[in-house]
Structure 1
Amino acid sequence: MEQSGHDHSYKLLFSHPEMIADLIRGYVREPWVERVDLSTLERVSGSYVTDDLRERQGDMIWRLRWADDERWVYVYLLLEFQTTSEPFMALRVLTYLSLLYEDLRRRNELTANGLLPPVLPVVLYRGSRRWSASANVASLIESVPGGLEVYRPHLRYLLLDERRYSNQKMGKAKNLVAALFALENSRDPSDVESVLDKLIEWLQTPDQTELRRNFTVWIKRVLLPTRVSEVHFKSLDDLHEVRSMLSERVEEWTKSWEEQGRERGRQQGLQEGRQEGRQEGEALLLMHLIEKKFGAEAVETYRERVDLAQADQLLAWSERILTAGSIEEMFDPAD
């Protein structure tokens, strides 16, 4: 995972229980959410040492209790700052959760029934390209006939791809994570002003001082520098000051905002076009080879699977076709 100012700022924001509570409340659309007590959220250490003393660092782990008893539910939050999706993220999540469960077992933090507690793995992604990796580790393991597939591990993570919420309207209900996503997806200074008004209203009490400060730090160090060039924001120490500066320089900033947006769009379009062009070419070449070796019927049977495959999978199939005796052996080798 890339370590950057954005990474650090996000970790500061999600070090507050209010942010985790709003993430669960607003973005986990599952019935069990109604049965947990969000007021019991507490941070858990994310650093584990395996039996062979090799350290692994997790991202962020919280726990909270069920509303009607003393059992814990864990929330494992991975903040993903790569520009593209990670094909083997499900495997990474499985590894981290195994370390977490082993640590809980070692410390005997089990349920009353002597079992491990449930964990919700969440991947929060803010890359410019839509996340395309599978959310289930089982899909990363080659399927083979004869019953062996029942032994594949099955573990899913919940993906929150911020770009999917680019058209989401800020509702009247208070939700700090929705405000963060709205700022990330803002298109002009007026969008930012609207969200700032809500944050100023929501973060007024003395016990929210640190969270208000962390929002200010993120806005001036991460958000605004990507929107407005050649402007220094070090003197901004409060959300009110950010709001006032936006109002005073709205015309100048709107012009800079638009220029920055056009340039980001141009660069993103070029990058995505090159990547998609390469992948499309690899898929077309593979389909041509399949037709040559196994016939047109095989092409139609496997066309959708090839179209949906990632670049590394296309390469693997292209290498396998050289020695495969049948189309089934090429796509699902029994090795």
Structure 2
Amino acid sequence: MLKIWESKFQQSKDKLPLIIPLVIYHGQKEWDIDLNLADLLVDVPEVVAKYVPNYQYLLYDLSKYSHDEIKGGAKLRIFLEILRGIFRGDFVESFKEALIVLEELEEKEKGIEYFEVIVRYVMNAKEDLSVNDLEKVTKEISSERSEELMTIAERLREEGKREGKKEGKEEVAKKLLEMNFNLKEVEKATGLSKEKILEIKNKTVN
């Protein structure tokens, strides 16, 4: 909220816009946090209470909703199905429901892009679910989607390898700099650019 107001204020010195805070929750435990900001603060003396900012936020706890209660357009339903089920024991069913809704999307190209977003999120958030598990479920809905999933999974693996190699080089560069190797020596040992090594050096010093 503060960032939005700051951005708006920089654009125009006029009055700030109204913001209604909304929390979409899909955690493993029931939401038990107060809905008012002031209630989260350590005992505020009444004499200074009027100087303390306060607001109430809207809460949507998706864990309480069933499949049938998930409404809205195709993309919204897919998003809510995945969020609702990601930490539940019946996630496979939620994933299957999301895939069924995905098939309803009229624009095929955009549907494929959205499918990749879903797969990336699930593979990052659902550690106990393998690519093979997802592929098996996807195949029940669409063999075409199943092939897309494996292509996306392979692309994610390659990205992970590249990122791992990159982080490895940067870690080596950091250690060499800490041992007082000069820029040329670090550049030769890691293959990183001079600019990147200087960036790492500045971070290390700070």
Q: Under a length normalisation based on structure 2, what TM-score does the superposition of the two structures give?
A: 0.50
Q: Is the 8 A contact 2:63 2:85 kept in 1?
A: no
Deviation, structure 1 residue 234: 10
Could you say which residue in structure 2 is the equivalent of 1:104?
Answer: 8
Q: Following the alignment from structure 1 to structure 2, what is the Cα–Cα distance between the partners of residues 101 and 247?
A: 45
Deviation, structure 1 residue 115: 1.0
Deviation, structure 1 residue 214: 0.8
- Count of residue pairs the alignment pairs up: 138
Match for 1:243 among 138, 149, 153? 138
Deviation, structure 1 residue 105: 1.0
Could you say which residue in structure 2 is the equivalent of 1:144?
Answer: 45
Could you say which residue in structure 2 is the equivalent of 1:211?
Answer: 114
Match for 1:169 among 61, 68, 84? 68
Could you say which residue in structure 2 is the equivalent of 1:123?
Answer: 23
SS in 2 for 1:120: coil
SS in 1 for 2:29: coil
SS in 2 for 1:160: strand
Deviation, structure 1 residue 244: 0.8
Q: Following the alignment from structure 1 to structure 2, what is the Cα–Cα distance between the partners of residues 245 and 198?
A: 14
CA-based RMSD of the aligned residues comes to 3.6
Structure with greater proportional helix content: 2
Q: Following the alignment from structure 1 to structure 2, what is the Cα–Cα distance between the partners of residues 100 and 190?
A: 37
Equivalent AA in structure 1 for residue 79 of structure 2: V
Q: Following the alignment from structure 1 to structure 2, what is the Cα–Cα distance between the partners of residues 158 and 232?
A: 36
Q: Following the alignment from structure 1 to structure 2, what is the Cα–Cα distance between the partners of residues 130 and 235?
A: 27
SS in 1 for 2:83: helix
Deviation, structure 1 residue 162: 3.1
Match for 1:179 among 70, 75, 81? 81
Equivalent AA in structure 2 for residue 178 of structure 1: L
Could you say which residue in structure 2 is the equivalent of 1:193?
Answer: 96
Change (3 A) 1:204 1:218: farther
Could you say which residue in structure 2 is the equivalent of 1:12?
Answer: none
Q: Would you say 1:158 and 2:20 are equivalent positions?
A: no
Equivalent AA in structure 2 for residue 176 of structure 1: I
How do 1:287-302 residues align onto structure 2 when only pairs under 5 Å count?
none
Deviation, structure 1 residue 137: 1.7
Deviation, structure 1 residue 245: 5.7
Change (3 A) 1:120 1:177: farther
Q: Following the alignment from structure 2 to structure 1, what is the Cα–Cα distance between the partners of residues 39 and 48?
A: 14
Q: Is the 8 A contact 2:63 2:84 kept in 1?
A: no
SS in 2 for 1:156: coil
Q: Following the alignment from structure 1 to structure 2, what is the Cα–Cα distance between the partners of residues 115 and 200?
A: 45
Could you say which residue in structure 1 is the equivalent of 2:173?
Answer: none
SS in 2 for 1:124: strand
Q: Following the alignment from structure 1 to structure 2, what is the Cα–Cα distance between the partners of residues 190 and 138?
A: 39
Runs of 5+ in structure 1 lacking a partner? Answer: 1-96, 249-335
Q: Following the alignment from structure 1 to structure 2, what is the Cα–Cα distance between the partners of residues 151 and 247?
A: 58
Runs of 5+ in structure 2 lacking a partner? Answer: 144-206
Q: Following the alignment from structure 2 to structure 1, what is the Cα–Cα distance between the partners of residues 96 and 60?
A: 24
Could you say which residue in structure 1 is the equivalent of 2:105?
Answer: 202
Change (3 A) 1:221 1:148: closer
Q: Under a length normalisation based on structure 1, what TM-score does the superposition of the two structures give?
A: 0.34
Deviation, structure 1 residue 207: 3.1
Equivalent AA in structure 2 for residue 187 of structure 1: D
Q: Following the alignment from structure 1 to structure 2, what is the Cα–Cα distance between the partners of residues 199 and 186?
A: 22
Change (3 A) 1:235 1:171: closer
Change (3 A) 1:172 1:158: closer
Equivalent AA in structure 2 for residue 140 of structure 1: L
